Amino acid sequence: MHWPERALAAARPLRIAVFVVGSPLINLPVSRAAVGTALGLRAAGVPGPGTIAGVLFAVLFALGGPRLLRYEAAVLVRESRSRR
């Protein structure tokens, strides 16, 4: 006898792993952009380059964070509907 629940249970850890690995991979380019901005501002002689870059990172993270969570919630809702 074939148990379809086992196939669904096997696919679930893969999706969880994608989210666990995906979140830092999304944040990494944003943080690199902030560090690059800080270094560029420092080279240009702008006062407070770390503060400006920190504000830039905070704004990008505040705009992108909720979108990432909405996407994750949508994927989880789709997955729960497909299990019924």
d(CA 62, CA 22): 17
At residue 3, does pLDDT exceed 60? no
- What pLDDT, in 10s, does the model give residues 30-75? 778 888 999 999 999 999 999 999 898 888 888 887 887 888 788 7
Q: How big is the chain, counted in residues?
A: 84
**pLDDT category, 78, cuts 50, 70, 90?**
confident
d(CA 24, CA 7): 28
At residue 7, does pLDDT exceed 60? no
What angle do helix axes 49-82 and 4-44 make, rounded to 10 degrees? Answer: 170
17 or 63: which leads in pLDDT: 63
